[in-house]
């Protein structure tokens, strides 16, 4: 555990507490709450004795059926999905379940960098080695770099699309190439699709599990936290090859037994409300994205970034010799605005900052980003 990085969100959270009136552009959550149907389902929970006992390790049967229908309809996944869908306490647990099921100590897992910090942490926790493959300047993956990094210890390649922390969306062609490389080398393609609905400017999300030949080596991870405002309910799910069903159940039963039954009940209501609920709220987040980009354009001599087409993040490179954590602390303490440092995402050779804009209404987000641009300008100019 000493080799695992300290969780960055609690660290920044404490700085925010210590500096009242700070506007947070740090944590990746949404500004909207769950649909009323979800809250109604939760309110109806508890009248039966079974509501207070352990549930199925795999998950609520009705919820699983709704998710199977969703995967067929929205993600283009064909075939029988029985013993392939498992309900988890969020996508982070789904990722850890995956590592328990497919790796041995000393194995390697390929992570395109910048990575999502909890995934890098999980790989180290199970005593495996994260193999970091640097993305290009637009944060896109070179599939041939993936191929070149595979060794006889490689067990999986991880992709996150739409991406945290960059906001980029990987093209279908690249995801197909990576999936084919995994097939050729008999390793797994772990696809994190927690932000599947968060795409902009006619950009489309692609699910690798929809590839006809992908069933045996593709593991897809999903979450209700973002799409349905469900972060505190801790509900996610995973789509796995059938031969991983028992290994994953062993991991889940040991670590959790089952996801919270009241949260699963609420999730049924969320799925019944449907994707239209998410789309309406995501349209407002898109407005915020455009306003944030406009404000960042005013300091383009200080920073650079590709326009994000998904999720709700900007990852910017700052022209400064300061390290990213030092810069984050100064922005909070001197200018009352919080972002995350790039070193938490594996970016050590330059100063990067992640800006998260999903948690705030557009006006508050713009107020925050104006504090950010003002603070960054003063800090960088004084440094010069």
Q: How far is 370 from 190, CA to CA, in rounded Å?
A: 37
CB 90 within 8 A of CB 234: yes
Q: How far is 174 from 331, CA to CA, in rounded Å?
A: 37
**pLDDT score of 317:** 97
Establish if 41 belongs to a structural domain.
Answer: yes
Q: Which residues of the chain have pLDDT under 50?
A: none
Q: Within 10 A of 34 (CB to CB), how many other CB atoms are there? A: 22
- The number of folded domains in the chain is 2
Tokens of 137: 């300047």
List Cα–Cα distances, 221 to 1, 80, 240, 342, in angstroms.
Answer: 25, 18, 9, 24
**pLDDT score of 381:** 85
- Do 244 and 280 reside in the same domain of the chain? no
Residue pLDDT, tens place only, 261-272: 999 999 999 999
Establish if 343 belongs to a structural domain.
Answer: yes
- Which residue range is the domain that position 288 belongs to? 8-33+276-383
**pLDDT score of 384:** 54
- Do 329 and 343 reside in the same domain of the chain? yes
**133: which strand partners?**
112
Residue appearing with tokens 């300290």? 6
Residue appearing with tokens 């790796």? 103
Establish if 150 belongs to a structural domain.
Answer: yes
Q: How far is 348 from 289, CA to CA, in rounded Å?
A: 26
Phi (first) and psi of residue 236, to 5 degrees: -140, -175
Q: How far is 364 from 291, CA to CA, in rounded Å?
A: 11
- Do 284 and 372 reside in the same domain of the chain? yes
The string over 46-73, giving b where at least 16 C-beta atoms fall within 10 Å of a residue's C-beta and e elsewhere, is eeeeeeeeebbbbbbeebbebbbebbee
């Amino acid at each position: 555990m000493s080799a695992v990085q300290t969780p960055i969100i609690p660290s920044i959270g404490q700085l925010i507490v210590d500096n009242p009136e700070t506007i947070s552009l740090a944590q990746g959550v949404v500004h909207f709450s769950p649909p009323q149907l979800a809250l109604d389902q939760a309110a109806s929970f508890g009248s039966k004795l079974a509501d207070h006992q352990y549930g199925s390790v795999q998950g609520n049967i009705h919820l699983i059926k709704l998710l199977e229908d969703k995967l067929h309809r929205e993600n283009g996944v064909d075939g029988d999905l029985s013993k392939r869908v498992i309900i988890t306490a969020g996508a982070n647990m789904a990722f850890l379940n995956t590592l328990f099921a497919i790796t041995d100590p000393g194995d390697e897992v390929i992570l395109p960098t910048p990575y999502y910090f909890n995934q890098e942490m999980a790989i180290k926790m199970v005593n495996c080695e994260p193999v970091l493959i640097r993305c290009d300047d637009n944060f896109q993956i070179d599939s041939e770099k993936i191929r070149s990094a595979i060794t006889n210890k490689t067990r999986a390649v991880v992709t996150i699309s739409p991406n945290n922390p960059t906001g980029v969306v990987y093209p279908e062609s690249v995801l197909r190439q990576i999936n084919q490389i995994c097939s050729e080398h008999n390793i797994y393609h772990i696809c994190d699709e927690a932000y599947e609905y968060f795409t902009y400017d006619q950009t489309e999300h692609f699910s690798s599990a929809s590839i006809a030949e992908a069933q045996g080596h593709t593991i897809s991870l999903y979450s209700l936290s973002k799409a349905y405002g469900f972060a505190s309910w801790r509900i996610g799910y995973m789509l796995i090859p059938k031969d991983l069903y028992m290994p994953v159940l062993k991991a889940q039963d040991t670590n959790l037994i089952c996801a919270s039954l009241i949260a699963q009940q609420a999730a049924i209501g969320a799925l019944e409300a449907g994707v239209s609920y998410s789309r309406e709220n995501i349209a407002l987040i898109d407005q915020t994205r455009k306003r944030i980009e406009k404000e960042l354009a005013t300091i383009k001599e200080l920073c650079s970034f590709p326009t994000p087409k998904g999720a709700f993040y900007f990852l910017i490179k700052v022209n400064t010799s300061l390290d990213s954590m030092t810069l984050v602390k100064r922005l909070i303490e001197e200018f009352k605005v919080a972002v995350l440092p790039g070193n938490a995402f594996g970016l050590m050779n330059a100063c990067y900052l992640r800006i998260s804009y999903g948690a705030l209404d557009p006006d508050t987000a713009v107020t925050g980003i104006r504090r950010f641009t003002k603070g960054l300008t003063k800090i960088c100019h004084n440094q010069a």
